[in-house]
Amino acid sequence: MNEYISIDARVCHGQACFRGTRIPVNQVVRMLANGDTIDGLVREFPALTRESILAGLKYAASLAEGQVTTPGTVALTV
């Protein structure tokens, strides 16, 4: 995907994860939505950096806009 996000069918059932980890992007986005801070997440998950978390948010925003396709899916524009 990019330098911070990877999708591998052998890791977390193919969910988008932070590269080199088994931390799903959706988990971190949900934690931020529930009030966690980037600094708090970096402390909780030492494998993550501020930059990787921001890349995860950018990835989630792209999904919401329908601009990202994952293997085996088709992008639809309305």
- Rounded to the nearest 10 degrees, what angle do helices 50-64 and 25-33 cross at? 90
Whether the predicted pLDDT of 61 surpasses 80 = yes
Quickly list H helices, the chain.
Answer: 25-33, 38-44, 50-64
Domain extent, residue 39, equals 5-64
Residues 6+ apart with CB under 8 A from 42: 48, 49, 50, 53
What is the pTM for the complete model shown?
0.80
DSSP for residue 67: -
pLDDT per residue over 20-32, tens digit each?
A: 999 999 999 999 9
Residue 18, in any domain of the structure: yes
**17 in a domain, yes or no?**
yes
Question: In the numeric block, which tokens belong to residue 13?
Answer: 């059932």
pLDDT per position as a tens digit, 1-46? 689 999 999 999 999 999 999 999 999 999 999 999 999 999 999 9
Quick check: 76 pLDDT over 70? Answer: no
Q: Would residue 12 count as lying in a domain?
A: yes
What's the confidence (pLDDT) of residue 70?
63
Indicate the number of domains in the chain: 1
CATH number at residue 39: 1.10.10.10
